[in-house]
Structure 1
Amino acid sequence: MNSSSTASAEVGLRLVVPDRTTVPLLATLEYAADDPYAIRVAFHVGDDDPVEWIFARELLTVGVVRRVGDGDVQVWPADDVRDRSLNLSLSSPFGTAHFEAPLTPLTDFLNRTYEIVAAGRESDFIDIEAELDDLLWHS
Structure 2
Amino acid sequence: MPQLPVEQLPTPRSLTRSMAMELLSADIAVEVETTVGYSSRDPFALSILFHLPGDAPVLWRIDREMLLAGVLGATGDGEVRVTPAPGGMLHLRLGVAGHCAVVRCGQEQLARLVRDTFRLVPQGTEERHIDWQPLLDSLSH
TM-score by length of 1: 0.84
Report the residue type matching 2:77 in the other structure: D
Name the residue aligned to 2:89.
85
67, 75, 85: which one aligns with 1:68: 75
Decide which moves more: 25-34 or 117-126: 117-126
1:136 partnered with 2:139: yes
1:124 partnered with 2:124: no
Name the residue aligned to 2:31.
24
CA separation of 1:101 and 1:125: change in aligned 2, threshold 3 A: same
1:14 partnered with 2:18: no
Name the residue aligned to 1:97.
101
Question: Alpha-carbon deviation of 1:127?
Answer: 3.3
Gaps of 5+ in 1: none
Gaps of 5+ in 2: 1-10
Question: Alpha-carbon deviation of 1:32?
Answer: 0.4
Larger radius of gyration: 2
Question: Alpha-carbon deviation of 1:55?
Answer: 2.0
Report the residue type matching 2:18 in the other structure: E
Alignment length, in residue pairs?
131
TM-score by length of 2: 0.83
Question: Alpha-carbon deviation of 1:104?
Answer: 2.3
CA separation of 1:120 and 1:92: change in aligned 2, threshold 3 A: same
The residue correspondences of 1:25-64 to structure 2 (distance < 5 A) are 25-64=32-71
CA separation of 1:7 and 1:24: change in aligned 2, threshold 3 A: same
**Stretches (4+) displaced over 6 A:** none
User: What value does the CA root-mean-square deviation take over the aligned residues?
Assistant: 2.3
